[in-house]
Amino acid sequence: MKDKARDSLDRLFHIQKAISEIERFTTGCTERKFENDEMLASAVLFQFSVIGEAIIHIDQSLLEKYDYPWFKVRAFRNLVAHEYFDIRFASVWKIIEKDLPEFKLVIEKIIEQESCSGRCRPA
């Protein structure tokens, strides 16, 4: 039988890793460089897809315990997956700068509170 709590926690760790990758890819980057570097933008958008897909598979009752607009994460994943050519990289850059830091804190809080007080890590 599938352990929903363990699966959800694994997905949260996937999100945490994807956030770290976005941060790593964009450290020292400017908005202009991001908008003009297709490979960088593609790598970042892939990580946002990972985040959105993971959110879809996390137990909804767990997410509901934390105040965050989860629908926006799912909606952005759908935009990246289905409307790729309509994405404005300037808007993605704003998400990286303004929304990602808060999202990261929420994910870290959930992991800490839901995983043996932060002591458990996936194998």
Domain boundaries, the chain: 4-114
Cα 63-66-72 angle, rounded to 5 deg: 65
- Tokens 């959800």 belong to residue: 8
Please, what is the angle between helix 38-57 and helix 70-82, to 10°?
Answer: 130
- Tokens 């850059």 belong to residue: 93
The pTM of the full predicted model, rounded to 2 decimals, is: 0.88
The distance between the two most distant Cα atoms of the chain, rounded to a whole number of Å, is 49
Helix runs in the chain, H state only: 4-26, 31-36, 38-57, 60-63, 70-82, 89-94, 100-114
The mean predicted confidence, pLDDT, of the chain is 91
Per-residue pLDDT of 44-94, as tens digits, reads 999 999 999 999 999 999 999 999 999 999 999 999 999 988 899 999 999
